[in-house]
């Protein structure tokens, strides 16, 4: 697949939105996560629309809510906007409590489109890779960065999401997520 100028524009747009944002607990620029998720999507057969949505999957939650979603729709079309909206656990402000948002998101995944499931699973795979890596370096000191769910909530959310992806795909990406979450759970049990 040859990516079009729309991809170039999405990359610049995503970087502009997240330019001042870093990954939780690190100095890593946030764009690194977006690029990783996009790479995972493309490596698993995702379309250009899914790749663009991967670059923008956190824009609504982190950078402006419905106004940002409208800008995405105007610039990149309905398909991309629907994938981004489907990957967002909250479209407005104020956000509901963490557990309530996560339970609603997991319920939504059961009927989400294959493109939403692919981008969401790719996001969880990259996040789980980061958690496992950081857990090996930091141990239990990792968990305070997860203010919403903390240790127990985060472990619950990763396992529940993994179980949903194992039920409905995308496979083998869901299998990779399962291996990562199993490793995360093992590290936590030993921690």
Pick from 139, 149, 125, 151: nearest CA to 46: 125
DSSP state for residue 29 in the 8-state scheme: B
Known catalytic membership, residue 62: yes
Q: Which of 9, 27, 58, 61 is catalytic?
A: 61
Q: Which two tokens stand for residue 162?
A: 């993994």
Known catalytic membership, residue 82: no
Grouping H, G, I as helix, E, B as strand and the rest as coil, residue 16 is helix
> Could you tell me the end-to-end alpha-carbon distance of the chain, in angstroms, rounded to an integer?
44
Cβ-based neighbours of 51, under 8 Å, separated by 6 or more: 3, 7, 38, 41, 42
- Alpha-carbon gap, residue 49 to 41, rounded angstroms: 10
- Alpha-carbon gap, residue 154 to 140, rounded angstroms: 13
Query: Phi and psi dihedrals of 118, rounded to 5?
Result: -65, -50
Q: Which of 5, 62, 152, 190 is catalytic?
A: 62
Write the DSSP assignment of 38-62 as a string of letters. Answer: HHHHHHTT--HHHHHHHHHTTHHHH
Residues carrying an active site annotation = 61-62
């Amino acid at each position: 697949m040859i990516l079009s100028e729309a991809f170039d524009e999405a990359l610049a747009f995503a970087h502009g939105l997240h330019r001042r944002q870093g990954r939780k607990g690190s100095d890593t620029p946030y764009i690194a996560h977006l690029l990783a998720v996009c790479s995972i999507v493309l490596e698993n057969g995702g379309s250009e629309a899914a790749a663009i949505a991967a670059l923008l999957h956190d824009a609504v939650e982190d950078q402006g809510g419905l106004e940002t979603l409208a800008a995405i729709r105007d610039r990149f079309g309905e398909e991309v906007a629907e994938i981004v909206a489907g990957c967002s656990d909250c479209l407005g402000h104020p956000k509901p409590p963490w557990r309530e948002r996560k339970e609603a998101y997991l319920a939504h995944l059961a009927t989400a489109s294959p493109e939403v499931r692919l981008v969401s699973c790719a996001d969880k795979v990259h996040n789980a890779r980061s958690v496992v890596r950081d857990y090996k370096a930091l141990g239990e000191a990792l968990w305070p960065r997860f203010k919403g769910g903390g240790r127990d909530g985060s472990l619950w959310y990763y396992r529940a999401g993994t179980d949903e992806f194992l039920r409905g795909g995308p496979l083998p990406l869901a299998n990779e997520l399962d291996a990562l979450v199993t490793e995360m759970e093992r590290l936590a049990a030993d921690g």
